[in-house]
Amino acid sequence: MSKVLDAYLQENLKELRDQGLYNEIDPVEGPNGPIIKIKGKDLINLSSNNYLGLATDEDLKKLAIAATQKYGVGAGAVRTINGTLDIHLKLEQKLAEFKGTEAAISYQSGFNCNMAAISAVMTKQDAILSDELNHASIIDGCRLSGAKIIRINHQDMDDLRAKAKAAKESGQYGKLMYITDGVFSMDGDIAKLPEIVEIAKEFDLITYVDDAHGSGVTGLGKGTVKHFGLEKEIDFQIGTLSKAIGVVGGYVAGTKNLIDWLKVRSRPFLFSTALPAGDVAAIMGALDKIMESTELHDKLWGNGRYLKDGLQKLGFDIGVSETPITPCIIGEEKLTQQFSARLSEEGVYAKSIVFPTVAKGSGRVRNMPTAAHTKEMLDDALAIYEKVGKELGVIS
Ligand code: PMP
The interface pTM score, or ipTM, of the predicted complex is 0.98
Average pLDDT, the chain: 97
230 ligand 1 Cβ < 6 A: no
181 ligand 1 Cβ < 6 A: yes
Active site residue 145: no
Distance between Cα 315 and ligand 1 center (Å): 31
Quick one: pLDDT at residue 372?
98
The number of C-alpha atoms within 13 Å of 113 and in the hemisphere containing its C-beta is: 29
Instruction: Inform me whether the pLDDT recorded for 241 exceeds 80.
Output: yes
Closest listed residue to residue 110, CA positions, set 245, 4, 17, 14: 245
Q: Under a CB-based contact definition with an 8 Å cutoff, are residues 161 and 138 in contact?
A: no
Nearest-atom number in ligand 1 for the CA of 250 is 15
Q: Under a CB-based contact definition with an 8 Å cutoff, are residues 176 and 168 in contact?
A: yes
79 ligand 1 Cβ < 6 A: no
Nearest-atom number in ligand 1 for the CA of 134 is 3
Quick one: pLDDT at residue 355?
86
Taking CA atoms, 210 is separated from 160, 173, 178, in Å, by 17, 23, 11
Active site residue 243: yes
Q: Under a CB-based contact definition with an 8 Å cutoff, are residues 91 and 71 in contact?
A: no
pLDDT digits (tens, 9 = 90+) for 116-156: 999 999 999 999 999 999 999 999 999 999 999 999 999 99
Q: Which helix (H) or strand (E) element contains residue 103?
A: strand 103-107
- What radius of gyration do the chain's Cα atoms show? 22
Q: Under a CB-based contact definition with an 8 Å cutoff, are residues 230 and 201 in contact?
A: no
Distance between Cα 212 and ligand 1 center (Å): 6
Nearest-atom number in ligand 1 for the CA of 112 is 16
The number of C-alpha atoms within 13 Å of 354 and in the hemisphere containing its C-beta is: 18
The predicted model gives 257-276 an average pLDDT of 97
Share of the chain above pLDDT 90, in %: 95
DSSP, collapsed to helix, strand or coil, labels residue 277 as: helix
Quick one: pLDDT at residue 90?
98
pLDDT band at 158 (very low <50, low <70, confident <90, very high): very high
Instruction: Inform me whether the pLDDT recorded for 21 exceeds 90.
Output: no
Distance between Cα 274 and ligand 1 center (Å): 18
DSSP, collapsed to helix, strand or coil, labels residue 28 as: strand
pLDDT band at 359 (very low <50, low <70, confident <90, very high): confident
Quick one: pLDDT at residue 19?
80
* Domains of the chain, each with CATH number or no CATH: 3-56+294-391 (3.90.1150.10), 58-292 (3.40.640.10)
Distance between Cα 186 and ligand 1 center (Å): 12
Instruction: Inform me whether the pLDDT recorded for 20 exceeds 80.
Output: no
Active site residue 88: no
Work out the burial of residue 50: count CB atoms within 10 Å of its CB; fewer than 13 is exposed, 13-18 middle, 19 or more buried. buried
94, 99, 135, 243: the catalytic one is: 243
Q: Whose Cα sits closest to atom 14 in ligand 1?
A: 110
Ligand 1 binding pocket mutation candidate from 183, 240, 275, 357 (most atoms within 8 A of CB): 240
Distance between Cα 188 and ligand 1 center (Å): 14
Nearest-atom number in ligand 1 for the CA of 181 is 3
369 ligand 1 Cβ < 6 A: no
The predicted model gives 344-349 an average pLDDT of 98
Closest listed residue to residue 183, CA positions, set 149, 134, 221, 232: 134
Residue scoring higher pLDDT (20 or 206):
206
Whole-angstrom Cα distance, residue 160 to residue 200?
10
Quick one: pLDDT at residue 59?
98
Quick one: pLDDT at residue 141?
98
Mark residue 273 as left, alpha or beta (left: phi above 0; alpha: psi -120 to 50; beta: remaining). Answer: beta
Question: What global pTM score does this model have?
Answer: 0.96
Instruction: Inform me whether the pLDDT recorded for 29 exceeds 90.
Output: yes
The predicted model gives 364-377 an average pLDDT of 97
137, 185, 321, 352: the catalytic one is: 185
Distance between Cα 208 and ligand 1 center (Å): 15
Per-residue exposure over 357-370, b if at least 16 CB sit within 10 Å of its own CB, e if not: ebeeebbbbbbbbb
